[in-house]
Structure 1
Amino acid sequence: MSFTLLKIFVLSSLIGCTIMRAEAQDKGKSELNIGGGMMASENAFADAIILLLSALINDPEDVTIPGAAWSLTYKYNLSERLAVGGASIYNPSPDRWIPDFAINDRWKRRSLTTAGEATIYWAKQRAFQFYGTAGVGFFVKRKTFYEVQTETDFGYTFQATPVGLRIGNKVGMFMELGYGYKGVFNGGLSVRF
């Protein structure tokens, strides 16, 4: 094959690709969720141990819920029962609901989590889905003390959500119950496209 013939073939292919209509994904298989979760735990492995030991050894303490961890999640449905995707979660007040860390100190904490997720649908209808989600990722947690002292912590984290409910067709709302970087209670708006 000559070099001139190869150039003509490549240019013809590129021109053909620009003329033809192309779609990257099947319509209706993607989903975007925007939510807020309460009692999120970025360092989920260690926090689970702390909570268990605290419940066994210490007297019960009140759990404070300072604010929501905000999440943006993308899902792509591979089949009728399985979806994969990713999530980014911003938590403006990590560690504040755990009894050992619920003291009023002057450190300002923030965290950002990025994770991959898989969703299995237990029951799926057009306007109703009952599902479970599991995810694994990593977090970056930053602590500042009056902008004078700064500490950064990295680690791995997970989310286990055995109970999730989505109501709505194209636009809907969802509610989830689980443990990890999205929180124990998580809910928000969902859009399919």
Structure 2
Amino acid sequence: MKVAVLDIKGKETGRKAELADDVFKIEPNEHAIYLDVKQYLAHQRQGTHKAKERAEIAGSTRKIKKQKGTGTARAGSIKSPIFRGGGRIFGPRPKDYTQKLNKNVKRLARKSALSLKSQANAITVVEDFSFDTPKTRDFIDVLKALGLEDKKSLIVLGEQNNSVYLSSRNFKGAEVVTNTELSTYKIMNANNVVLTEGALEGIAANLNK
């Protein structure tokens, strides 16, 4: 499948880019997308939540009142969960939320996500570009020229480019990644995916290993 290559002013360069059919034109597997997005979100959780339980509370172990004759229930420790300042019953403990997912399933998920974007005409190919100095205004001008200033966009570069990356950091409507950082979640989370010419070959190579 061939698409027109645009420059950063939104005009056609006269060149065509080849989008590999085995990456951008497959039958999307929605379950694979679900599994990969679920794993990505699970990996964002730190799992450092912790509440002190009865044995971890600092406090006296003295029996706080006599066993009988008070007219109230027995109580043996001020650290009991029924008292204010006591330990928490079944409180959260540190947990590892990471999940395992087969590499082939992850590749299928990314191919499916890119194919869905392709079907929705939400993929734009631009020539490789850079800025002399990092400047948010220049980055926004590129998005405006492509008609994407009001859309959540994902810009995929062929290799790390600090001037483009730093120019995008203050703009919440777009994210810049390299082809090796591409994930199913980021593709699905964007309204439009902008691929540079340099990223196309890397994407095909990564997803067809």
Whether the TM-score (by the shorter chain) exceeds 0.5 is: no
Structure with greater Cα Rg: 2
TM-score (norm 2): 0.26
Higher helix residue share: 2
TM-score w.r.t. the length of structure 1 is 0.28
